[in-house]
Amino acid sequence: MKLFPLDTFAYEFPGKEIKINFEIPEFTAICPFSDFPDFAIIRLEYVPNERCIELKSLKLYINSFRNVKIFHEHVINVILEDFVAACDPLSVEIDGDFHVRGNIKTVVRASYKKP
Amino acid sequence: MKLFPLDTFAYEFPGKEIKINFEIPEFTAICPFSDFPDFAIIRLEYVPNERCIELKSLKLYINSFRNVKIFHEHVINVILEDFVAACDPLSVEIDGDFHVRGNIKTVVRASYKKP
Amino acid sequence: MKLFPLDTFAYEFPGKEIKINFEIPEFTAICPFSDFPDFAIIRLEYVPNERCIELKSLKLYINSFRNVKIFHEHVINVILEDFVAACDPLSVEIDGDFHVRGNIKTVVRASYKKP
Amino acid sequence: MKLFPLDTFAYEFPGKEIKINFEIPEFTAICPFSDFPDFAIIRLEYVPNERCIELKSLKLYINSFRNVKIFHEHVINVILEDFVAACDPLSVEIDGDFHVRGNIKTVVRASYKKP
Amino acid sequence: MKLFPLDTFAYEFPGKEIKINFEIPEFTAICPFSDFPDFAIIRLEYVPNERCIELKSLKLYINSFRNVKIFHEHVINVILEDFVAACDPLSVEIDGDFHVRGNIKTVVRASYKKP
Amino acid sequence: MKLFPLDTFAYEFPGKEIKINFEIPEFTAICPFSDFPDFAIIRLEYVPNERCIELKSLKLYINSFRNVKIFHEHVINVILEDFVAACDPLSVEIDGDFHVRGNIKTVVRASYKKP
Amino acid sequence: MKLFPLDTFAYEFPGKEIKINFEIPEFTAICPFSDFPDFAIIRLEYVPNERCIELKSLKLYINSFRNVKIFHEHVINVILEDFVAACDPLSVEIDGDFHVRGNIKTVVRASYKKP
Amino acid sequence: MKLFPLDTFAYEFPGKEIKINFEIPEFTAICPFSDFPDFAIIRLEYVPNERCIELKSLKLYINSFRNVKIFHEHVINVILEDFVAACDPLSVEIDGDFHVRGNIKTVVRASYKKP
Amino acid sequence: MKLFPLDTFAYEFPGKEIKINFEIPEFTAICPFSDFPDFAIIRLEYVPNERCIELKSLKLYINSFRNVKIFHEHVINVILEDFVAACDPLSVEIDGDFHVRGNIKTVVRASYKKP
Amino acid sequence: MKLFPLDTFAYEFPGKEIKINFEIPEFTAICPFSDFPDFAIIRLEYVPNERCIELKSLKLYINSFRNVKIFHEHVINVILEDFVAACDPLSVEIDGDFHVRGNIKTVVRASYKKP
């Protein structure tokens, strides 16, 4: 799984807590069971520490899942780990809101708080 | 009452708490009073421990209520018990959102937390 | 005020807390001031103890307010008392969502917790 | 500022806490800066003590602001004081949801709890 | 960055806490990366101390960002600092709800509490 | 079936065609099969000829169905005939939008054009 | 395919054209390819000639598809033919609004006009 | 009835048909029966001939109904006549969407086409 | 451009006109300008002649655009031609409802009628 | 008024009529009366003849109104003329949906058909 690297820039108001919320409606990957495409809206909210995620690299990172085979339950953990590694935030919450499969709609949520 | 068995797969990030939410809009069973069909949307959110519920078996499990005679208030308890037995989650919440009967709309909610 | 008696049946999972929510969109009674009909949606959520309310008797109980003269603020207390007397729940919340009168929309809420 | 007096009637279930919520979509007054009319939806929720507000007097009280010159930020405080003086409630919350002025939509909220 | 100064007027009920909420749907500035215009809805809620923000100056203050080059993450901090300096509120929360860029929708939130 | 008589007033712009549309959300009557109450929203649009229907009499006319036993399919024809007899309009359309019965929602529409 | 027979009653205003519209949200049948259940909302609008369809028989007719194996495209034609045979209407339109299958939502529409 | 005069400006593309649509949510007048205020949203769409209506004068014209006593059915005809007299349009349609009175919501529509 | 072939089955009611409507929310292809992925909801309505499109092959046909480079304006024409070639319908309408690109949302519609 | 030139590319299916619909939510210009900014959503639907409008030039064309002083009623005519000149379409319809000014919301529509 070779994903586009997440880029960052300096947060100019360190020490002032803000929440940054992204809605990314164009996630697609491949289902490992069926080899058919999966689709999801990814929602992500974080509190920056010293660096912010650069928007264009986030788009390219999400685009780079297009040919990756991965389960709903695991993709959210992968994004969470990559995001924390890239910008060391004070906290992050991630939602993956997946399209109906087998007549069932699935949403997966994960979160992280800097110790 | 012979229901399809729920299947599971290993959660690859044990110790990392995620929430998995399913919306299942095609529940139908038989009303024990009238012998007429009942309909509901089932909503289910759980925190996996070491195993996740496999989606296709969940669909077949729900489908297998089609000829079962059971009350609104009891069906939610049955699903809760079967779900806990199948994947031993850290917690589960289940909603049954039933169609109007006798001019009244009924929603039944149950939940479980691993001791 | 002679109302239809509320009927009950045994809750088969005593000790397991569930929430049961009814939406009853066809309440009508008579306004004591004007003698004109009033209309409301009644919403009711309870946690059963040992008995559940039987749905058909609930419909007939609500229907039996049709010729009763009663204020918005009092009807919710009457339903609350009758409901508690009928099935001895662990808790109940009742909302009466009344149609516009005198250009003003009124909602009245009452609740009960078993001591 | 001469406003219509708020009338009350006895609450027949004193000691039983209920919440009464009014939505009043027809508030209009005059802006002291521009002399142009202002418009708002007033929302009010209270817990009665021994008396309830009579609905018709509430409508006439709201109507009586029609020619009054008053700021958004102050009108909500005036209604709050008059309401508390009239029926001595256990608590009240009031929202004034004003139409767009100068491309900006304003909502003002005030509340009171009986000591 | 030369912005229009925020004006204030005396709050006539000092000591009585109210919440004042503004929705300002016409924010536009220039993206420092691309030199293309950015658009946002700004939402702002504050509890006044002794002075309220005058609505017309707030509109002109927001309009004065039209030719300013600034990042999503920083503009919210700038508005927060200017607002606090202008009216010394008990608390403020500010949301910037930005249009989609690079297929991603961004919301940034900041807040302040008077020590 | 003794219904309240519909009252009228002179249309001051005869010869100028206007459309007048009423939405009446509080229709209730009795089902002749089950003796249970039925509920509907009545929608009515007409082009007046020389007389307009007076609003208060329309409300009292609708209220007077409260104890009448009548089918969904027939009640709309009765209102249509009474309306035409009362104000001799150029045209009328009437919709009865009934609550769910037997899991089925029913809407009945009738219309009239002056020959 | 043995379906419940549709019952009728006399239309008391023959010669006066009305439209009767039913929304039936609880259609379920079996997919002939997969043997899995299908679900749909059926919408039906007709102009009666001399007879109206009786509501309870319509509900039981729809319920009787529960174990029938039939395609989306054909079920609507079957209902259309049975409906026309039962009450000889001036016209009928039928919509079957089926749940998502294979990531695709299907709606099928058929209609009939009496020659 | 003394209303603010409607002002106009030259349409710079005469001969090119455009539609101009206004939504005016702040109409209020006085009911001649009850002396209580009425409220409406006015919607107006016209095709200019040689002159367009100036927006500020339209606002002041609408504001000037505030103390006028007039029926729902007539106010729309008055606005239509004044509008046609002011700017001689190719066509106009006007809707008055009035708040609920006597449990009934009223919409009145009138239109004009230049001969 | 190698696409999955569309499959068909016999329409059992030839001569009876029905409309079949598909909503396919998971179209994705590659933008020829930027090499970035595009996303769309495809909506398609047709009147079958002697054959119906088989649902699973339609899903696989749509999936097979995943690595194709093609413009918004052309993809709809390609689908139209392939659909007509596959099942020779009496008529077809196709909508491609594309996600925002360059701050602009695009919808492209094409249609065909059998001569 | 110096606007960015609209660019085009060849329509590869000339003779096949398609409709192309753009929603452009980020139009802003300057009001000639007040010198304050105006905002609008522009909606545009056209049938291409031999050339399609290139999306990026359309975005830059719309952006180039940012410092232009122009009335609501005229801007739509200007866009219509520029669009027709750029790509010679079979037909075009343009809507400008402007933000509230003076408590009034304005929509302006213009259209063109190739003779």
Which residue in chain A has the smallest CA separation from B17? Answer: A110
| Distances in whole angstroms, Cα of residue E96 to Cα of each of A17, E59, J25, J29, J79 | 15, 15, 17, 22, 31
Mean pLDDT over all residues of chain G? Answer: 94
Burial class (CB in 10 A: 0-12, 13-18, 19+), H106: buried
Minimum distance, in Å, between the CA of residue A4 and any CA atom of chain B: 22
The percent of residues in chain J predicted with pLDDT above 90, rounded, is 85
Tell me, yes or no, if C2 comes closer than 8 A to chain B by beta carbon.
Answer: no
Q: For chain F, which residues score pLDDT lower than 70?
A: none
Indicate if the pLDDT at residue I1 is higher than 90. no
B37 touching chain G per CB within 8 A: yes
Counting Cβ atoms within 10 Å, is residue D113 exposed (0-12), middle (13-18) or buried (19+)? exposed
Q: What is the pTM of this model?
A: 0.91
Cβ distance of I99 and E99 shorter than 8 Å: no
Residue A26 in contact with partner chain I when CB distance is under 8 A? yes
Residues I74-78, mean pLDDT to the nearest whole number: 93
Encode pLDDT of H5-44 as tens digits: 999 999 988 889 999 999 999 999 999 888 999 999 999 9
Q: Who among C74, C102, C111 is closest to D55 (CB)?
A: C102
Question: CA D63, CA D84: separation in Å to the nearest integer?
Answer: 19
For residue range E95-108, list pLDDT tens digits in order. Answer: 999 999 888 999 99
The residue among I38 and C102 whose pLDDT is bigger is I38
Residues I59 and D75: their CA atoms lie apart, in Å, by 60
Taking an 8 Å cut-off on Cβ atoms, the answer to whether E37 and J99 are in contact is: no
I107 touches chain J (CB under 8 A): yes
Residue A72's pLDDT band (cuts 50, 70, 90): confident
From the CA atom positions of chain D, what is the Rg in Å?
14
Over residues D56-110, the pLDDT tens digits come to 999 999 999 999 999 888 899 999 999 999 999 999 999 999 999 888 999 999 9
Q: Which of D77, D104, D110 sits opposite E22 (nearest CB)?
A: D104
Q: Which of C66, C68, C100 to mutate to test the interface with F (most CBs of F within 10 A)?
A: C66
Report CB contact under 8 Å: A23, E73: no
CA–CA dist I88, J17 (Å, integer): 19
The pair of structure tokens assigned to H105 is 């919501």
Q: Which of G31, G82, G95, G97 is catalytic?
A: G31
pLDDT number for residue J9: 93
**Residue A40 pLDDT:** 97
Q: Per the CB < 8 Å rule, is G37 touching B25?
A: no
Say what the pLDDT of residue B102 is.
Answer: 83
> Do I and C share at least 3 CB pairs under 8 Å?
no
Chain A residue with CA closest to I36: the answer is A63
Q: Which of G74, E91, D115 is nearest to I14 (CA)?
A: G74
- Determine the residue of chain D that is closest to C103 in CA distance: D24
How many H-J residue pairs are in contact by the CB < 8 A criterion? Answer: 53
Question: Does H have 3 or more CB contacts under 8 Å with G?
Answer: no
Cβ <8 Å between F11 and H108? no
pLDDT tens digits, one per residue of G8-57: 999 988 889 999 999 999 999 999 988 999 999 999 999 999 999 999 99
With CA atoms as reference, the chain H residue closest to C37 would be H103
* F38 has catalytic annotation: yes
* CA of A55 vs chain B CAs: smallest distance (Å): 25
Selected residue with higher pLDDT from H74 and B68 = B68
**Options H7, H31, H82, H95, the catalytic residue:** H31
Residue J72: pLDDT band (50, 70, 90) is: confident
List helix spans (H) across chain C.
Answer: 55-63, 72-87
How high is the ipTM of this complex? 0.90
pLDDT at G59: 96
The tokens for C91 are 């808790």
Whole-angstrom distance, CA of residue I90 vs CA of residue D52:
68
pLDDT tens column, D104-114: 999 999 999 99
How confident is the model at residue E74, as a pLDDT?
A: 87
Of A42, A10, A4, A8, nearest to A23 by C-alpha is: A42
Mean pLDDT per 10-residue interval, chain B, length 115 residues? 92 92 96 92 97 95 96 91 97 96 92 95
Put residue A103 in one of left, alpha, beta given phi > 0 → left and psi -120 to 50 → alpha. Answer: left
Where does residue H63 rank: exposed (0-12), middle (13-18), buried (19+ CB within 10 A)?
middle
Q: Least CA distance to C38: which residue of chain H? A: H103
Find, in chain C, the residue whose alpha carbon is nearest to that of D22.
C106
H66 touches chain D (CB under 8 A): yes
Residues in chain B: 115
**A/G interface, count of CB pairs below 8 Å:** 5
Give residue D29's pLDDT.
97
* Inter-chain residue contact C103 with D24, CB threshold 8 Å: yes
Which residue of I55, I58, I83, I97 to mutate against G (max G Cβ within 10 Å)? I55
Residue-wise DSSP of G1-21 = ---PPPPEEE-SSTTS-EEEE
Catalytic residue among I7, I35, I38, I95: I38
Q: Could you list the active site residues of J?
A: 31, 38
Going by C-alpha positions, the residue among G40, G14, G56, G20 that lies closest to residue G101 is G40
Q: For residues H88 and H67, what is the distance between their CA atoms, to the nearest angstrom? A: 27
Q: Do B102 and C19 touch (CB under 8 A)?
A: no
Q: Does the CB of F32 have a partner CB in chain H at under 8 Å?
A: no
To the nearest 10°, report the CA torsion of J84, J85, J88, J94.
Answer: -10
Tell me the domains of chain E and their CATH numbers.
19-113 (3.30.1130.10)
CA angle (I30 as vertex; I28, I32 as ends), nearest 5:
150
* Residues C22-38 as b or e (16 or more Cβ within 10 Å = b): bbbbbbbbbeeeeeebb
Q: Is the pLDDT of residue G1 over 90?
A: no
Nearest to G44 by CA among G68, G67, G75: G75
pLDDT in tens, E24-81: 999 999 998 889 999 999 999 999 999 999 999 999 999 999 999 998 888 999 999 9
Gap from G95 CA to chain I (nearest CA, Å): 9
Best C28, C31, C39, C100 residue to mutate vs chain H (most H CBs within 10 Å): C100
How near does any CA of chain J get to the CA of E75, in Å? 19
Flag if B26 and G99 touch (Cβ within 8 Å): yes
